Every structure is written in C-alpha cells, then in structure tokens.
Amino acid sequence: MREFPQTFDQKCNCRVTIAKKVQTGNVMQAAYYDQTGLAEQVLLLGEVADPLAGPGEVRVRLRWSGVNPSDVKSRAGLRSAEMPFPRVTPHSDGMGFIDSVGAGVPASRLGQRVWVWNAAWGRPDGTAAQYVVLPQHMAIELPQATSDEAGACLGIPAMTALHAALARGGVAGQRVLVAGGAGAVGHYAVQFCRLLGARQVLTTVSGPEKAALARQAGADVVIQYRDEPVAQRVREATQGQGVDRIIEVDIAANAQLDLAVLRSGGDVLVYGSGKPGIELPFFPLIVNNVSLSFFIVYNLAAAERACAQATLAGWLERGALIHNIACRLPLAQIAQAHQAVEQASAPGNVVVEIP
C-alpha cells in the first residue's frame, strides 16, 4: 500500500493506513482508493463515516467481501484511468446481516442473513467495508445451508454462470463447452449445466489440479488445453457433431477454437475477453448460423435476474452446490487479494474477511 499515516498491526504483520478520523457521527473500517494504479500502491485502509439507510434501503453489516476481475480492473484503471468518484470502496459482492432498515422497509428484515450484488456498480461504496447501504432488493436472503463465505461469491461468479446457462432457451439436452471449468465462473457453470439437464458438459482447464476441480463439479469431459488438442478432443467426445453452446470466458483468446468446435446453429455466450478489441472471421460465422451473445452480469434485465435468483435460491436451500473458495484473506491484506485475482494464482473465488 502506498505511504500514508500508518500504524503497525502485529496480528496481521502488516502496515495499516489510518485515515483522518471523521469528526462527526460514527466511523467504520473500510478499504478504498482515491486514484487508480497498482493494488499495493493505491489501496488504503482507514476509518470513514459509516452509512445510514434511507427510504427503501437496508444497511448490511458485512462479514465477507468477494473480489472479482472487474474489481481489480477498475482499481487498476484498465477501463479508465479517471476516477468515477473522488474515493471508491471496491467490490460489488458481499455477505452479511441487515442491521438497520430505512423507511418503507419491513422491520422483519432486521437480522436477516443476506448476500448482496452490484454494490460498487455505478456507486462509490462497495463491500470492502464494515457496512454497506443498498436498495433493499439488492440484499437477498442467504439460505442457512450456504456458508457465509459462499454468500460473497454469488453476485458475479454464480449469477454470470447461471445466466449463461439459462439464456437463449437454456442448456437442457445440449452439449455444452465451458471455457475454464475450474475458474470462479466456470466451476459454477459446469454445475449449473449439469443441474439444468445438459446432455454433456465439456470443459477446458490449464492443468491437473484444475482438472480435478472440474471433474468434482460434474464435467463429463475435461481437456487440459496446454497438453491436449482441444478441437480434436471435442470432436471425438461429440462424435463429430460439435457442441451446441459455449460459455466463453475469453473470446479474444478462444474465438478460432470456438468456431472449430461449435455445431451449425450453435450459441456462444460471452462474458469476458482478455483484450479490449477482438477480430472475428465473417464467413464462418454466417455460413454456420452462429449466434454470438455478449452480456455483463451488472446489466441483466430485471426479469432475467429474478429468474436466475429464484433458480439459484432453490439449489442453495438444498445445499446442492460446491463453492470453490480458493483464497481467504483479512481486509488488511486486500492488496494481496487483488494480486491473487490479477495473477490468477488462486483456482477459484477470492474473498476478504471483514473485521
């Protein structure tokens, strides 16, 4: 973290930034940045004014905060070097308990255990803090069968995977290729495709450890792309027919492969790209009637989000899902958490514990 008034915290063996105390009202601990850049240089930990719930809002006392690629890209300035707000508390996903409600919100919600979504989307105040205030529909009850940490993995990883499996008529009866089946989104996508009745679930991974995770999630065919001919393996596994749907984490890297293994009339559902620009060959796309769909989970239509949330709730209540949490760190080590996501060093979800 960059230099700022600090004290040494023996418990976490790290330097902790102490922001200037707010002179009025109560304060809370929060991580934030006031400029974009490297995690260790711009992320600060200090005291800020704690928020109050307004009409139609709830305040959540957070326990866990999820770290996602979009969080680290925003902090790094990869989308824009300009700050959207003077100060940003990062992270859109989180889990906690509702500790106060605003006017118009039923008092029965007090004490409710919830997961939250879009906390830092178009807002300055995310979940890397002790409290967050949100419109009440953005705090969803978390079933008791689901762990606290898993609640911080639902807003982006799980909902992205689920929308990709539900969209365009769903995956029932389909052969589906999930790119990166051990990743934060891919691991959920493999499970969701299986639960939604996919005929066959294939996935690509980078090595043996991730292959084991993908098989645990329910993949029928796991292909280690660094050592195996992916297109050939897919053709063999599908008897030369190709796959009906691809859930794509990096269209820039995998576009040529996708066209090689997708059946005529198939769908590619894209939620990520490793490059800001992509180039696609027109003729193979049009002659094979390929449907190419792009989406970002932050902007799901209300009906699509409601459908996905209802479907997810049923599985969570039954304890039907495996939550692949690869890294848990305290809030004081938020820079290390961001680095783990940036470097893809953790095969799964990265979460931060709120003190």
> Taking the mean position of all CA atoms in its chain, how far away is CA 177?
19
> Taking the mean position of all CA atoms in its chain, how far away is CA 9?
30
How high is the pLDDT of residue 81? 87
Q: One fold for both 6-152+326-343 and 168-294?
A: no
Average predicted confidence (pLDDT) for the chain:
93
Superfamily of domain 6-152+326-343: Medium-chain alcohol dehydrogenases, catalytic domain (3.90.180.10)
Residue 112 to residue 129: CA distance in whole angstroms: 18
How high is the pLDDT of residue 18? 36
The correct answer on CATH 3.90.870.10 for the domain covering 168-294 is no
Domain segments of the chain as ranges: 6-152+326-343, 168-294
How high is the pLDDT of residue 341? 96
The 10 Å Cβ neighbour count of residue 29 is 19
List the one residue out of 312, 291, 342 whose CA is nearest residue 160. Answer: 312
CB 60 within 8 A of CB 131: yes
Percent of the chain past pLDDT 70, that is, above it, reads: 93
**Per residue in 108-146, pLDDT tens?**
999 999 999 999 999 999 999 999 999 999 999 999 999
And the tokens for 270? 């894209």
CB 140 within 8 A of CB 158: no
CB 131 within 8 A of CB 28: yes
Alpha helices in 19-158 (DSSP H): 39-42, 69-76, 148-151
**Confidence band (pLDDT; 50, 70, 90) for 25?**
low
Q: Counting Cβ atoms within 10 Å, is residue 270 exposed (0-12), middle (13-18) or buried (19+)? A: buried
Q: Counting Cβ atoms within 10 Å, is residue 171 exposed (0-12), middle (13-18) or buried (19+)? A: buried
Sign, CA torsion 53/311/67/86:
negative
**Confidence band (pLDDT; 50, 70, 90) for 12?**
very low
- pTM, entire model: 0.92
